[in-house]
Structure 1
Amino acid sequence: MTVTLPFAEWSSYAADHSARVDALVVGHLDRQKRREAHPVEDFLFTYYSVRPNQLRVWHPGPGVRLLDAAPYGERRGYVVVDGTASLDPLEVVRRADSITWIRGLLGSTLDRQPQFGCFGLHEWAMVYRTSDVRHQKWPLRLGAEGTDQVVESHKIACSHFDAFRFFTTPARPLNVLQPTRESQPALEQGGCLHANMDLYKWATKLMPFTPSSLVLECFELARDIRTLDMRASPYDLSPLGYAPVQIETPDGKAEYTAAQRAFADRARPLRRQLVAVCDQLLG
């Protein structure tokens, strides 16, 4: 079924969306002007490829036509006929392989039992036995030796390739899995913080087909997960107001696992909605 929105209705949705994005990105843009970096809040703009101005563009999603929407003719993925804009079916055909791969990854993750025993040790494995740490401005909370001891005294069980690929060379053999890009659909699971952060990546990879409301829900989830990710990391970010989750202690492990489960619960319906978008496009 196709829904047709008059200009007054869809332009209101678009304006509300832009205002919501502006509130989400204002801190990042202000820091850019001052040439300052933030190890937590800038991640979604530096690791992921979507810029704030791209995020501000409102997309209605599949099955929606916009009346009096001639400017959408200049946007990739749309076709405009007599002023009425809709998603371009030829763009879906061109991107069918990518949509199919994303759908397969998201669907297999939905079907897999979540795991909650990693305790965020991927960030620790990224600084194991090295002085070349990513966030040079921020000290290691336990120092280099204490950080290495935490890694060596735990089972490292990272299932996410895009986290594992940043492990130091000495840390990689310590991981019980050896993820690759090819094995990603077979290993990704819904308890993983990075897999759930990446819902934002897949939502944006599917733009303009993804409804913008879903994109921003994924953004907000990724932002909140990133906060836990860095609070549980070996870095001391307390001067920025981030109390550490001390995963090297029993209480810290319990705190991390409880938050991890809550994020998995938030991620599941978003992942299901992205699968539905893919199915609608491919069907």
Structure 2
Amino acid sequence: MTAALAPATVLDAAQWQARRRAHEERVDGWLIPHLARRRRGEKHPVEDFLFTYYSHRPAQLRRWHPGAGVVLRDADPAEFGRDYRVTAAGVTLDTEAVRTRRAESVGWIRSLLAATAARPGHFGCFGMHEWAMVYRQTQEEVRHNAWPLRLSPERTAAVVEQRGVRCSHFDAYRFFTPPARPLNLLTPTRATQHAHEQPGCLHANMDLYKWAYKLAPLVPSELVADCFALAREIRTLDMRASPYDLAALGYPPVRVETPEGRAEYVTAQRAFAARAAQLRKRLLATTPR
């Protein structure tokens, strides 16, 4: 059964234009340094990740949408895209047309978000997924080979073998080196993603950004940006806890090979999970059954 539609929010021109400017200014704080590095041919393993791993282009992130159920007075529908229509009150997103056209993908995302939200978080992985991505590789073979490993390849492999790997996230697992995959407690696949995704996982919480932009323009651009902001912070922890030495870039390591480092990691992981739960709840609110 489709949920009853809430009354529309009507924004006058000054209100929605102010929201659009605030969104663009916020996003520019992330985009301008990234685009400058791209022009110089520089790569940053932390700051550039969200722009290279995910398919959402910088211009798409910057473009403002009000979300479903919002009417914009004195607006031009052509300025917003094909899914907007003119009503007596103003310009608004044709929500039902978007949901109908994208019913399969919206339903898939909603069911994944709901399944993830319904299960408890697990906090015992200690970031070993990043270590499994370099397991038994030489410095030349690792993905970010412009940056050194904190430990020797032999010692890195020993940490993986001693700690074990408990990764539930397919899109992390698929980057494991072949000898690391049998060491994982699970064998996640795309087909089992709904069964394995859990809310303590850094990568599942980082992926809220992906689900947000894939739900756009049903979700407001501010929510997409909120998910991006969380993903950016999670990526920082992810790489600080990784086997890479990024101290020269200003990222002191979280030494998960030590008890102190593991405790620090879990504290941050729990805080991110709490923030992600609120974003997941907001995303689910945009996709009623």
Relative to the length of structure 2, the TM-score reads: 0.94
1:85 corresponding residue in structure 2: 91
Matched, 1:101 2:82: no
Structure 1 segment 122-201 matched on structure 2, within 5 A: 122-131=129-138, 132-201=141-210
Would you say the 8 A contact 2:71–2:89 is kept in 1?
A: no
Percent of residue pairs identical: 60
Select which of 201, 204, 211 maps to 2:213: 204
Would you say the 8 A contact 1:232–1:247 is kept in 2?
A: yes
Whole-angstrom distance in 2 between the partners of 1:198 and 1:97: 19
Would you say the 8 A contact 1:124–1:234 is kept in 2?
A: yes
Whole-angstrom distance in 1 between the partners of 2:9 and 2:80: 22
1:244–1:133 CA distance, 2 compared to 1 (3 A): same
Whole-angstrom distance in 2 between the partners of 1:236 and 1:158: 22
1:122–1:76 CA distance, 2 compared to 1 (3 A): farther
**Deviation at residue 84 of structure 1 after TM alignment:** 3.1
Whole-angstrom distance in 2 between the partners of 1:9 and 1:72: 19
Would you say the 8 A contact 2:127–2:242 is kept in 1?
A: yes
2:3 corresponding residue in structure 1: none
Mind listing any 5+ residue stretches in structure 1 that lack a counterpart? none
Alpha carbon RMSD of aligned pairs, Å? Answer: 1.4
Structure 2 SS opposite 1:153: helix
Mind listing any 5+ residue stretches in structure 2 that lack a counterpart? 1-6
Whole-angstrom distance in 1 between the partners of 2:26 and 2:46: 20
**Deviation at residue 52 of structure 1 after TM alignment:** 1.6
Structure 1 SS opposite 2:71: strand
2:39 corresponding residue in structure 1: 33
Whole-angstrom distance in 2 between the partners of 1:192 and 1:270: 14
Select which of 6, 9, 13 maps to 1:3: 9
Structure 1 SS opposite 2:287: helix
1:259 corresponding residue in structure 2: 268
**Deviation at residue 251 of structure 1 after TM alignment:** 0.3
Whole-angstrom distance in 1 between the partners of 2:42 and 2:77: 35
**Deviation at residue 83 of structure 1 after TM alignment:** 9.3
Aligned pairs, number? 280
Structure 1 segment 28-67 matched on structure 2, within 5 A: 28-67=34-73
Matched, 1:16 2:6: no
Q: Bigger shift: 88-97 or 107-116?
A: 88-97
Structure 1 runs (4+) deviating above 6 angstroms are none
Would you say the 8 A contact 2:126–2:265 is kept in 1?
A: yes
1:248 corresponding residue in structure 2: 257
Matched, 1:227 2:233: no
Structure 2 SS opposite 1:4: strand
Relative to the length of structure 1, the TM-score reads: 0.96
Per-residue CA shift, 1:204-261, capped at 9, x if unaligned? Answer: 0011111111111111100000000000000011110110011000000000010000
